[in-house]
Amino acid sequence: MTHSKNIIVFDLETKTLIPKFKDKKKKRKEIAKMEISVLCCYDYNNKKYSFFNEKNIKEFISLTNKCEKIIGYNILDFDYLVLKKYGLKIKNISKKTFDIFDFIKKETGEWISLDSLSMENLGRGKLFKGKEMVDLKKADLYKGCKADVQNTKELYDMFCTKKLKYKHLTSAWKQNHLPTDDDLLMGFSRGELRDMYPKGKEGDCIYNHIFGYENDGYDYENMGYDTIGEGEYHDPLKKCPKCGGDNLEKFDEDTEDMTDGQMAEYMNGSWGTFECLDCKEHIDWEA
């Protein structure tokens, strides 16, 4: 399969992390408020990578109107929402958009991250994970964004030549290729993750790994993760002391300045801050 030269591949990074909302509509609204820090684009015409920020983003918007096809990874549900406020006309370009993530999701029912798909097909993953990107220095930020575009471009090339491996991931992937790409998982609720992984436990495990919610005794090492936390495990807070509701969400704590002991206690559920989603009470909890 050959393709036109008038194609662009792009990815963007934002100044803040993807918001965590259980309600999909609210999450999409919050994503739409996010601001770009950098956008990298590969142009098949000149075979060059270009970078854009808020000052010259209109140039990229113009490029989307002129090209024949736009390639990306999870751009329909994230990047396009962010770019809409900068003048992107989603309806005008959606028909000429090929979102690899969306294609695989529709074909297999699986939510495969760019990191996992790249590792399987290219032998390398993302240069930096989503949570890391927000705090990177400018040079590393640009390098990481470009690396994501390069991976996406090469995956698309493999797709066009029918060499892209994704279908075989549908069964073994849940056990051996679980995604750690925060670009996809940040913002999904515990229930949404369970829906993605019918067995249930894999979804809990991914949620725990990213948000440090609890140590459920799952064998992280066999999933390719490092063991998290040591010592006795404490059940996390179950009910709100104010209203008695059990609809609780644990806040992310800044783990960078924690000692090893504090980290172990935090990951084992010994302490943390929760929000009751029913009465909006904030609870500082300690076992």
The one-character DSSP state at 236 is: P
What average pLDDT does the chain have? 75
130 contacts 18 by C-beta, under 8 angstroms? yes
Dist. CA 145–CA 128, nearest whole Å:
9
What is the residue-level pLDDT of the chain in tens, covering all 287 positions?
456 679 999 999 999 887 776 677 888 888 999 999 999 999 999 999 999 999 999 999 999 999 999 999 999 999 999 999 999 999 999 999 999 999 998 988 878 888 888 988 998 888 887 677 778 888 888 899 999 999 999 999 999 999 999 875 544 444 444 444 444 554 555 555 555 554 444 444 544 544 444 444 434 333 332 323 333 334 467 788 888 887 877 766 655 555 545 554 555 556 677 778 888 888 877 65
Residue 212's region, left for phi above 0, alpha for psi from -120 to 50, else beta, is left
User: What pLDDT, on the 0 to 100 scale, is given for residue 192?
Assistant: 56
The full set of domain ranges for the chain reads 7-176, 188-226, 229-287
The pTM score is 0.62
At 287 the pLDDT is 58
Which tokens hold the place of 155? Answer: 């995956």
- Quick one: DSSP state of residue 219? -
pLDDT number for residue 171: 43
> What is the pLDDT, as a whole number, of residue 260?
44
CATH number corresponding to 7-176: 3.30.420.10
- Burial of 78-92, coded b for 16+ CB within 10 Å and e otherwise, reads bbbbbbeeeebeeee
* pLDDT (tens digit per residue) in 48-80: 999 999 999 999 999 999 999 999 999 999 999
pLDDT in tens, 182-197: 445 545 555 555 555 5
Q: Specify the residue for token string 């073994």.
A: 172
Q: Are 14 and 144 in contact (CB under 8 A)?
A: no
According to the model, what pLDDT value does residue 140 have?
87
Q: Are 112 and 173 in contact (CB under 8 A)?
A: yes
Looking at residue 249, its pLDDT comes to 75
